[in-house]
Amino acid sequence: MKIGFIGLGNMGAPMAANLAAAGHDVVGFDVAGTTALGVTPVASAVAAATQRDIVITMLPNGDILRAVAGDIIPAMQSGATLIDCSTVDVDSARAVADQAQTAGMLTVDAPVSGGIGGAAGGTLTFMAGGSADAFAVAQPLFDIMGQKAVHCGEAGAGQAAKICNNMILGATMIATCEAFALADKLGLERQKMFDVASTSSGYSWSMNAYCPAPGVGPQSPADNGYAPGFASELMLKDLGLSQQAAEAVDADTPMGARALELYRQFVEDEGGKGRDFSAMLPRFETRGRS
């Protein structure tokens, strides 16, 4: 396949490199001038999109995606497929899909989970929205860059799944951290707390797979000084997207709203920026009720 990759950041560069390593002809562009192993650099997003079977974007947010899409869609060849792997708002995903489909392209919104490690190791999970035909074109590439791809529905469904999943994650991580901090104050050993909660109804991915208490459970960013992992500011971004979506469709999401407030406070006022999102535990440890 002739692939154009736009956005060679922490996630995009290793994803593009994996496609090149699998034998695809990949050209890439990033405004910051970053490159990726095996990927031929080109001078602009339009150059990366011209005469390519597939164009993949991995960009910071929906405004940038809309701007890039506005530039590249007129340059793409008819029948090409645009796959956006960024995490963006559902409205931007649908607007870009509409624009591209009107111009004769196939589109997939395919945000990922699995982080930088998953991007490097080719073990991402893709949550995809788009037609069955578009998903069929994208699936072999998802198989190279990831270990699982779920076709969630029509355009925007991938982003909807991503932000709902991460709203659960934000709320459960906070709940897990505050429970550990309470257990500490009640004199309970952390290992005992883990042994009980991880095998009882306190079970969750935050508890079992990504335990925020250092030295307890499987290896996680807590065992590495809370270096990300998944940075708190990225969780803040995703919680913001879920509240934006909830407002748009009049959904009542009080836990998501509270999680957003707590991560905003943590990132903006309490030094949480650049720390893993599980560093909520040391935050709670130092606090009382007021």
Binding site for ligand NAD (CB under 6 A): 6-12, 29-32, 34, 45, 58-60, 64, 68, 86-87, 112-113, 115-116, 230, 234, 237
Which residue number, 116 or 150, has a Cβ lying nearer to ligand NAD? 116
Which residue number, 87 or 183, has a Cβ lying nearer to ligand NAD? 87
Residue 148 annotated to the active site: no
Handedness of CA 133, 139, 140, 145 (dihedral sign): positive
Q: Which residues are CB-neighbours of 63 under 8 A, at least 6 positions away?
A: 92
Which residue number, 193 or 245, has a Cβ lying nearer to ligand NAD? 245
Q: How far is the CB of 180 from ligand NAD (least distance, A)?
A: 23
Q: Which helix (H) or strand (E) holds 257?
A: helix 254-269
List for the chain the helix, strand, coil content (%; round to 5): 50, 15, 35
Q: How far is CA 60 from CA 6, 138, 238, in A?
A: 11, 21, 11
Q: How far is the CB of 240 from ligand NAD (least distance, A)?
A: 11
- Selected catalytic residue, list 2, 162, 185, 273: 162
Q: Which residues are CB-neighbours of 14 under 8 A, at least 6 positions away?
A: 36, 116, 119, 120
* Residue of 98, 96, 72, 53 whose CA lies nearest to 7: 72
Q: How far is the CB of 283 from ligand NAD (least distance, A)?
A: 20
Q: Which residue is nearest to ligand NAD (CB)?
A: 9
Q: How far is the CB of 281 from ligand NAD (least distance, A)?
A: 19
Which residue number, 180 or 230, has a Cβ lying nearer to ligand NAD? 230
Which tokens sit at 273? Answer: 């920026």
Q: Which residues are CB-neighbours of 35 under 8 A, at least 6 positions away?
A: 8, 13, 28, 41
Residues with catalytic function: 162
